[in-house]
Amino acid sequence: MTKLPFADPRAGFLAARTELVAAFETVLESGHYVLGEQVEGFEREWAARCRTEHAIGVSSGTDALALALRAVGVGPGDEVLVPAMTAVATWMAVSQIGAVPVGVDIEPLRNGMDPAGVQARLSSRTRALVAVHLFGHPADIVSLAQLAAEANIPLIEDAAQAHGTHLDGQPAGSLGALAAFSFYPTKNLAAMGDAGAVMTSDPELADRVRLLREYGWRTRADAELKGVNARLDELQAALLRVMLRRLPATIERRRVIARAYLDGLADVPGLELPAPTADSEPAWHLFVVRHSRRDALAAGLARAGIGTGVHYATVPPLNTAFAAAGWTPGAFPVAERHAANALSLPIYPEISDVDVSRIVDAVHSVAKRI
């Protein structure tokens, strides 16, 4: 029995091998390795796809989020509303700049920040709201943007899991004042290392992010802002341009697999399936189910040679790093229930239809026994 890994970024790169090697040689021979023609080309192409005026290539998704927050003026001691279920990186980006992440519970279907929970967490120190399109499902941006506008704070998208996601026909990345993408190797659009981007259509915010990304330099003679080094290199940008050309096809393949799971697993007792809302076109970065016997389900699938993941086993506010903030279990019932029950099935473009059927059959047979 062949083993099916939960994720396989290597397979995605090998499928593009010839073009990736050619891109590497272009950079090799160019003599220019950090911020240059390839970065600018990628920024243009990625902005066009996200329908924003600007894309600023940076070193990672976490840095993209931190720079977006700094661009709107968030600084030490300021509070930022973040969902209680997300990659811990969302919370780390806020604390990286000395600001304070304040958790809001999620909605069980969209998996995004629950608009109903925002009001209770707003304070006179709240300076921004970060909406996460978790697993590739768009957050309820319409309601969240309205709440942010009423509070006179900017809404920033963490779109690290949402390359190719649409809400009412609009691409993720274009739905807030700024957006942050990650191109970590397992994301929908992958670099062969760390990379990220900040998106915006506001020229002043774009200018500020560009400065902050490289020592605050306007020119090499004057650092205008207290910036960092969060540059994107030419090699990753050149590889990203190759992978970007394949993105429409890989997203389509993810949708086909998701549809097969939704159909094939609809009648498994005790299994909760993702249920995209009518206005959503998810890009299916992850396919996350819930089951009260999650660990037994994962163990049974592992015995059948099927790798799974858990996104995420703990809520960020209950991570040790945030202990001093004093969040207690029970503060985020929907997010915590998700953490206890979530299981991610493999969903990447290189999985065959035969693999998908095998996974569907295995879930049925394991679920019957647990």
Ligand X SMILES: *Cc1c(COP(=O)(O)O)cnc(C)c1O
Contacting residues toward ligand X, per CB under 6 A: 60-62, 86-87, 89-90, 132, 158, 160-161, 182, 184, 194, 196
- Residue number with the shortest CB distance to ligand X? 61
Nearer to ligand X, 268 or 332 (CB): 332
CB of 285 to ligand X, least distance (A): 8
CB of 194 to ligand X, least distance (A): 6
Nearer to ligand X, 132 or 141 (CB): 132
Dihedral through CA 46, CA 97, CA 319, CA 300, nearest 10?
A: 10
The residue behind tokens 């059959």 is 361
Structural contact between residues 281 and 166, judged by C-beta atoms closer than 8 angstroms? yes
Nearer to ligand X, 300 or 317 (CB): 317
Nearer to ligand X, 78 or 157 (CB): 157
Contacts of 92 (CB under 8 A, 6+ apart): 62, 321
321 vs 324: CA distance, rounded Å: 8
Nearer to ligand X, 192 or 271 (CB): 192
Q: Is 121 helix (H, G, I), strand (E, B) or coil?
A: helix
CB of 283 to ligand X, least distance (A): 12
Contacts of 369 (CB under 8 A, 6+ apart): 300
The residue behind tokens 């649409």 is 166
- CA 284, 287, 289, 294 dihedral sign is negative
314 vs 341: CA distance, rounded Å: 11
**Residue 102 DSSP label:** E
Nearer to ligand X, 213 or 358 (CB): 213
263 vs 84: CA distance, rounded Å: 30
CB of 221 to ligand X, least distance (A): 32
CB of 132 to ligand X, least distance (A): 5
CB of 134 to ligand X, least distance (A): 7
